[in-house]
């Protein structure tokens, strides 16, 4: 079977979905791209930019003739989208998604679209920026980035292979992972850093002299808090969807911060140097060169 997608339906045409369409076009791996969403202006702009060939506001209409369906909506909207496509998919169609928490997405799919379980390949591209909308999309977003897929026990092997080939055509490295492990890893490496950025900026913004704090913020502050400009609705949904793993991670991190505060308060220079050196060594060894995530 050819790995070329004849008709791609993108449900949620923003940075993630729009960039997938652009990347597949650049690679010559897609024919017609139909977009689906609520915002008329965004969808029209997608056509103007050549990201989409057509669009609709009706999920059932969008997926009816598609051989590949990519769902890139906030986690809180996943179940509704799946419900609208139930019974409307072609027998040979494959459905995948870009959700940042896989356990909740699989539960939503099974609850309202279970008859298509063999056609569903849960996925998560580890790429993004803080920008939103189809205007923010670009073909190189997934180049040399990682995409995690988490096939279930019901997923057909052929469906998994087709999704793997799609992401590889975008220049991504595709990794297969268990659902629970995915959600734990992402809670630590993506969800927790976003909570720290949101929490820090919100706390500083509520301080009495916050104008001066932000006015004199240096590059390090801007770099660290960039992700606090991310979509609030999307991140609210991620917190709820992955709350068990993220809560454990936040509790553990709070304990680490309390221990660090004690070291600072007591002037324990040796302990501080030990923490900072260990952190530097770990980042230099494992993080540098891997690219950013979202």
The structure tokens listed for 18 are: 């729009």
The structure tokens listed for 25 are: 């076009």
Report pLDDT for 199: 95
pTM value? 0.87
Report pLDDT for 163: 98
3-state DSSP assignment of residue 247: helix
Report pLDDT for 216: 77
Residue 292 pLDDT grade (very low, low, confident, very high; cuts 50, 70, 90)? very low
- Is there a shared CATH topology between the 5-177 domain and the 181-286 domain? no
Report pLDDT for 207: 87
Q: From CA 46, how far away is CA 8, in angstroms rounded? A: 14
Q: What percent of the chain has pLDDT over 70?
A: 97
Q: Residue 290 pLDDT > 60, yes or no?
A: no
Q: Mean pLDDT, to the nearest integer, of 109-128?
A: 96
Q: Residue 294 pLDDT > 50, yes or no?
A: no
Q: Mean pLDDT, to the nearest integer, of 18-22?
A: 98
Residue 13 pLDDT grade (very low, low, confident, very high; cuts 50, 70, 90)? very high
Segment 146-186, tens digit of pLDDT? 999 999 999 999 999 999 999 999 999 999 999 999 999 99
**DSSP state letters, 128-156:** --S--SGGG--TTTTTT-EEEE---TT--
Helices assigned H by DSSP within 124-268 = 157-169, 179-186, 192-205, 210-215, 219-225, 232-241, 243-265
Q: Mean pLDDT, to the nearest integer, of 78-87?
A: 98
Segment 201-215, tens digit of pLDDT? 999 999 887 788 888
Q: Residue 130 pLDDT > 80, yes or no?
A: no
Report pLDDT for 231: 86
Task: Using alpha carbons, select from 17, 37, 291 the residue that is nearest to residue 137.
Answer: 17
The residues spanned by each domain of the chain are 5-177, 181-286
Task: For CA atoms 243, 248, 253, 255, give the dihedral sign.
Answer: positive
Report pLDDT for 134: 95
Report pLDDT for 20: 98
Segment 216-268, tens digit of pLDDT? 777 888 888 988 998 898 899 999 999 999 999 999 999 999 999 999 999 99
Q: What is the CA radius of gyration of the chain?
A: 21
Task: For CA atoms 96, 102, 106, 107, give the dihedral sign.
Answer: negative
Report pLDDT for 291: 43
Q: Residue 23 pLDDT > 80, yes or no?
A: yes
More confident residue, 104 or 224: 104
**DSSP state letters, 73-110:** S-GGGHHHHHHHHTTTS-TT-EEEE--S-HHHHHHHHH
Q: Mean pLDDT, to the nearest integer, of 38-54?
A: 97
Q: Residue 102 pLDDT > 90, yes or no?
A: yes
- At the second CATH level, the architecture of 181-286 is Orthogonal Bundle (1.10)
- At the second CATH level, the architecture of 5-177 is 3-Layer(aba) Sandwich (3.40)
Residue 288 pLDDT grade (very low, low, confident, very high; cuts 50, 70, 90)? low
Report pLDDT for 209: 78
Q: Mean pLDDT, to the nearest integer, of 87-113?
A: 97
The structure tokens listed for 207 are: 């301080």
């Amino acid at each position: 079977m050819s790995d070329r997608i004849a008709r791609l339906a993108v449900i949620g045409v923003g940075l993630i979905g729009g960039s997938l369409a652009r990347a597949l076009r650049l690679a010559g791996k897609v024919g017609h791209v139909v977009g689906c969403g609520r915002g008329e202006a965004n969808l029209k702009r997608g056509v103007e930019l050549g990201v989409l060939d057509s669009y609709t506001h009706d999920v059932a209409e969008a997926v009816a003739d598609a051989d590949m369906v990519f769902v890139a909506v906030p986690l809180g909207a996943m179940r509704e989208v799946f419900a609208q496509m139930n019974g409307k998919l072609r027998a040979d169609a494959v459905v995948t998604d870009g959700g940042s928490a896989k356990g909740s997405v699989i539960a939503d799919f099974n609850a309202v679209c279970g008859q298509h379980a063999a056609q569903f390949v849960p996925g998560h591209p580890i790429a993004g920026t803080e920008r939103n909308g189809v205007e923010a999309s670009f073909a190189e977003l997934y180049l040399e980035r990682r995409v995690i897929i988490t096939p279930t026990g019901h997923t057909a092997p052929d469906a998994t292979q087709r999704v793997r080939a799609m992401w590889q055509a975008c220049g991504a490295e595709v990794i297969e992972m268990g659902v629970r492990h995915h959600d734990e890893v992402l809670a630590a490496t993506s969800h927790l850093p976003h909570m720290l950025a949101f929490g820090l900026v919100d706390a500083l913004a509520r301080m009495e002299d916050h104008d001066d704090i932000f006015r004199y913020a240096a590059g390090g502050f801007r770099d660290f808090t960039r992700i606090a400009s991310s979509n609030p609705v999307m991140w609210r949904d991620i917190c709820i969807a992955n709350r068990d793993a993220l809560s454990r991670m936040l509790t553990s991190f709070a304990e680490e911060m309390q221990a660090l505060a004690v070291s600072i308060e007591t002037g324990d220079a040796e302990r501080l140097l030990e923490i900072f050196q260990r952190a530097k060594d770990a980042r230099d060894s494992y993080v540098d060169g891997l690219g950013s995530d979202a």
